[in-house]
Amino acid sequence: MESIIRVDGLAKHFSVRKHYKGRFAPLKNFFTREASTVKAVDDLNFEINPGELVGYLGPNGAGKSTTLKMLTGLLVPSHGEVRVSGFNPWKERKAYVRHIGAVFGQRTTLWWDLPVVESLELLKYVYHIPEARFRENLSHFIDLLELSPFLGTPVRALSLGQRMRADLCAALLHDPRLLFLDEPTIGLDVVAKERIRDFIKYLNQERKTTVILTTHDLADVQKLCQRIMIIDQGKLLFDGGLERLQERFGGKRQLIVDFAEHYPDVHVAQAQLKDYQNRRAIYEFDRRELSASELIGQVSSQFQIQDLTVREPDIEATIRNIYEKQLLKVPET
C-alpha cells in the first residue's frame, strides 16, 4: 500500500537571540547579535498509510505542533523531505490544501462575526465544492455533530464545544482524504469530548479518512488511536500500537476474580494477591513473567470461579511514567 504521508529527515530549527539580565541588560540586549539554535523538530522519519488513525504524542515543547504545521504547509522546514498525498505541502500549497482538513484547538477557520451557516456557505466557494455534494455533506454533518441549535449564531458567541464542532464540519465539507487535529478536545466538557470522539471514529471507520491527532487527553488515545507515535526534543522515540506500548512500559496487569464460595487462602504462584474480601480477589501480575491465560488456568484449577476480569494498566499512568522517568531516551548527537 502506498503511504499517504512520507517524511524523510524532516527538521525545523529556530534561531533564538540571547537575552541578558541585570543592570545593563537593556543595552546589552539592544546590541547583542548572539543567538542559539533551537531544534524544534530534528531528523524525523516515518510513513503513514491511508485509513490510519495515529496519535502523535509528546510533552509540551516536544515538537508536535511544529510537525503538524510543516505537514500542513504552514511552516517551511529547515531541511528534509515531505510528500503528502503526492504533494510538497509548502511548495504546492494551493493545490494541496484541497486534499486536507485541519483543526487547531485554539484557533478557528470560521469568520468571527458571521453566523456559522454563512461561514460554511462561504467555504463552498473557497473549495469549489459542487452544490449537490456540499448540501449532502452539510446536512450529514449537521446531524452527526448536532449543529442545528446554533447554525444562526455568530461564531464569536459560540461556546468552545460548539465552535469545535463547527470547525470540524468546516474542515470536512470538501471531502479531504487526510485530517490533522491539534488538541481537538482541549477545554471541553465530558459530553462534548465524547461527541467529538464519536465523530472522529465515524470519519475514520466509515469514510476511511486518515487522521493524525495530537492530544494531551489520553482518553482520546485509548478510545481512538490504532497507532501511537511519541516525540520528544524533536525526535521520534516510539512508533507502534497501544498494546505494544503497554507491553513495553505499562505497569502490572490485574486479574479480578469472584469466587463461587469463600476460601481461607487464595494465594497462587507468580501473582501478588493485592486484596481479598467478600469472595473477591485482586491479583497483580507482570505480563513479561506470566500471561493472563496462565494465571486464569492456575486460579481455576484450584478454586470454583463465578466471574473474572482482566484489567489493563491505565494508559495515562503509562505515558506519565514514560515522561517523568524518561523511559524513552532521546538519542545523543
31 sits in which H/E element: helix 25-31
Q: What is the CA angle 293-298-304, rounded to 5?
A: 105
pLDDT for res 261: 92
Q: What nine digits make up the cell of 233?
A: 526534543
Nearest alpha-carbon partner for 72 in 63, 57, 84: 84
* pTM of the predicted protein model: 0.78
pLDDT tens digits along 220-277 = 888 899 899 998 888 888 999 887 887 777 767 889 999 999 999 999 988 999 999 9
Residue 330 above 60 pLDDT?
Answer: no
The CA distance from 71 to 59, in Å, is 19
CA distances from 127 to 48, 101, 132, 176, 214 (A): 25, 11, 14, 11, 25
Cβ atoms of 275 and 283 closer than 8 Å: no
Q: For the chain, give the mean pLDDT.
A: 87
Tell me the pLDDT band of 291, cut-offs 50, 70 and 90: confident
Q: Terminal CA-to-CA distance of the chain, rounded, Å? A: 33
Side-chain-side CA neighbours of residue 83 (13 Å): 9
- Percent of the chain exceeding pLDDT 70 equals 90
| Beta carbons within 8 Å of 22's beta carbon, 6+ residues apart | none
Residue 327 above 70 pLDDT?
Answer: no
Phi/psi of residue 130, each to 5°?
-55, 140
Cβ atoms of 196 and 228 closer than 8 Å: no
Write down the residue that cell numbers 471507520 correspond to. Answer: 205
Laid out side by side, the sheet with 35-48 consists of 35-48, 5-17, 79-84
Laid out side by side, the sheet with 53-57 consists of 100-104, 178-182, 210-214, 53-57, 227-232, 235-240
**Cα dihedral 210, 215, 217, 223 in deg (nearest 10):** 10
Residue 161 above 60 pLDDT?
Answer: yes
pLDDT for res 133: 95
pLDDT tens digits along 100-147 = 999 987 778 899 999 999 999 999 999 999 999 999 999 999 999 999
The three-state DSSP-derived secondary structure of 84-152 is ECCECCCCCHHHHHHHEEEEECCCCCCCCCCEHHHHHHHHHHHCCCCHHHHHHHHHHHHHHHCCHHHCC
- Percent of the chain exceeding pLDDT 90 equals 57
Residue 331 above 60 pLDDT?
Answer: no
pLDDT for res 29: 63
pLDDT for res 270: 84
Pick the most confident of 156-160, 184-188, 319-323. Answer: 156-160
Q: What is the CA angle 202-207-212, rounded to 5?
A: 75
Q: What nine digits make up the cell of 118?
A: 454563512
pLDDT for res 311: 83
- The region of weakest confidence among 1-10, 123-132, 168-177, 244-253 is 244-253
